[in-house]
Structure 1
Amino acid sequence: MSTVAKLLARKERLLAQLESDPGPNEREEIERQIAQIETALSLLEPGDAVGPGDE
Structure 2
Amino acid sequence: MSTAVKLLAQKQRLLKQLESDPGPNERAEIERLLEKIETALSLLDQQDAARPSDE
Query: Taking structure 1 as the reference length, what is the TM-score of the superposition?
Result: 0.81
Count matched residues.
47
TM-align CA RMSD: 1.2
Larger Rg, first or second structure (1 or 2): 2
Higher relative contact order (CA 8 A, sep 6+): 1
Runs of 4+ in 1 over 4 A off after TM superposition: none
TM-score under structure 2 length normalisation: 0.81
Provide structure 1 residue ranges, at least 5 long, that are not aligned to the other structure. Answer: 48-55
Gaps of 5+ in 2: 50-55
Higher helix share: 2
